């Protein structure tokens, strides 16, 4: 298989993957809606256990920290490098 065929197959599979992800997201939304409507954080149905609970997380306003406390930002920040494949 030449590179052009590989790119075409990649794009086709990516499109299918996106469509499947949309279907998964829609089903997840339906399950979450059911749990909200019935006011349940945990549902056990046969061998399946659904959990839809609130979680919290603490974030840092990086832009503000950098502007207001540049020395602290510099001390604790780091850069990661990676490569990303884009196919258009």
Residue 1 in this model has a pLDDT that exceeds 90: no
Q: What is the value of pTM for the model shown?
A: 0.72
Side-chain-side CA neighbours of residue 29 (13 Å): 6
Instruction: In whole angstroms, give the CA distance from residue 50 to residue 7.
Output: 38
Closest residue by Cα to residue 40 from 27, 29, 30, 53: 53
Would you state the pLDDT for residue 86? 85
Would you state the pLDDT for residue 13? 97
Residue 49 in this model has a pLDDT that exceeds 90: yes
Find out whether 39 and 30 touch, Cβ atoms under 8 Å: no
- The whole-number average pLDDT for the span 51-58 is 94
Instruction: In whole angstroms, give the CA distance from residue 60 to residue 39.
Output: 32
């Amino acid at each position: 298989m030449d590179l052009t065929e590989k790119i075409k197959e990649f794009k086709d599979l990516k499109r299918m993957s996106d469509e499947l992800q949309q279907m998964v997201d829609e089903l997840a939304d339906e399950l979450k809606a059911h749990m909200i409507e019935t006011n349940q954080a945990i549902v056990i149905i046969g061998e399946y256990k659904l959990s839809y609970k609130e979680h919290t997380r603490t974030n840092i306003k990086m832009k503000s920290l950098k502007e207001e406390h540049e020395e602290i930002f510099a001390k604790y920040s780091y850069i990661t490098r990676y490569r990303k494949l884009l196919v258009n």
